[in-house]
Amino acid sequence: MTFEKILNFFRSFFSRRKTNAFLNYMTHEPSELEYVGVIQFQHQNFKSIKDFYVKVLSVVKAAKMEGSQLVLFPAGMNTELYFVPEEALSGNQISKIEDECLKVFSNVALAEKMYIGYADLIKGTKVCHLLNGNGKQVDGNKFIVYNVKVAFMNDDIDDDVDLILNSCLVKKWIGDYESFGHAWLYSQQEYAYSMESYMVGDHFTGQSGIYAPIEATESMSGIIKQAQSRLLEEVLVSKIDFSALESLKRKRNAKNAYTRLLEHK
């Protein structure tokens, strides 16, 4: 009798805890950006938009289960829906596919209440998109995600941006130091966090990662998380401590002393 009582107590305790955890997970609305995710996306030609939706939803769910509030996909997501090479598509077909792709990401963002960044590749030009948790596309070059200033990587990034997004298609491997190109280097030069996502599989190779200024990482490497494989799909999620950037603002401010020099002709 006593044993049964104890057993029942533990049963109800754990079931209550599980329910509470689930309810917390479902209702918790964070006010700050803490966790970000990068999707190293496995290339495959999708036979239908439904298949594509299911795939995107599944990787976003995987990132969300690890706490991610913002996920970044690689560039060329629209080309996953191409049924023939781009050269064989008309202008109308290309823009229709772009719209379909946007709808898929919008629906997933809405369903999972998640910020999603990705880029289309249209005739070699990257077109970046950021969707908010309501599935709406956020306009502009600089975005506020929760309390953080975010921008897609380009040559004109403002000094006050704290998180840089870089959706890429493919990385050519010349040597090991290639890993430090792009986003990692931007993090070092702009004193900001960065996320970089690549397409992998088939003829695509890349190594996605989440980076910081070297001074903001314990290992002094500037690497928070990096994909282990250059060929296989991975979901990278990491907590980011934006308060660590505070101490680096001194270095950022030091750049202001050079304003006059930079304006000098």
Contact residues for other proteins (CB under 8 A)? 155, 172, 174-178, 180-181, 185-186, 188-190, 214, 220-222, 251, 254-255, 257-258, 260-262, 264
- The DSSP call for residue 223 is E
Residue bearing tokens 């939803």: 57
Instruction: Quote the CA–CA distance of 233 and 59 in Å, as a whole number.
Output: 10
Smallest distance from the beta carbon of 165 to other proteins, in angstroms? 17
Instruction: Quote the CA–CA distance of 150 and 165 in Å, as a whole number.
Output: 7
Smallest distance from the beta carbon of 49 to other proteins, in angstroms? 38
Smallest distance from the beta carbon of 133 to other proteins, in angstroms? 32
CB closer to other proteins, 10 vs 258: 258
Smallest distance from the beta carbon of 198 to other proteins, in angstroms? 17
Instruction: Quote the CA–CA distance of 238 and 34 in Å, as a whole number.
Output: 8
Instruction: Quote the CA–CA distance of 47 and 57 in Å, as a whole number.
Output: 16
Smallest distance from the beta carbon of 160 to other proteins, in angstroms? 14
168 closest CA partner among 237, 77, 257, 248: 77
CB closer to other proteins, 42 vs 188: 188
Contacts for 179-187: CB closer than 8 Å, 24+ residues apart:
179/207, 179/209, 179/226, 182/153, 183/153, 183/209, 183/211, 184/209, 184/211, 184/222, 184/223, 186/153, 186/157, 187/211, 187/212, 187/213, 187/222
Smallest distance from the beta carbon of 40 to other proteins, in angstroms? 22
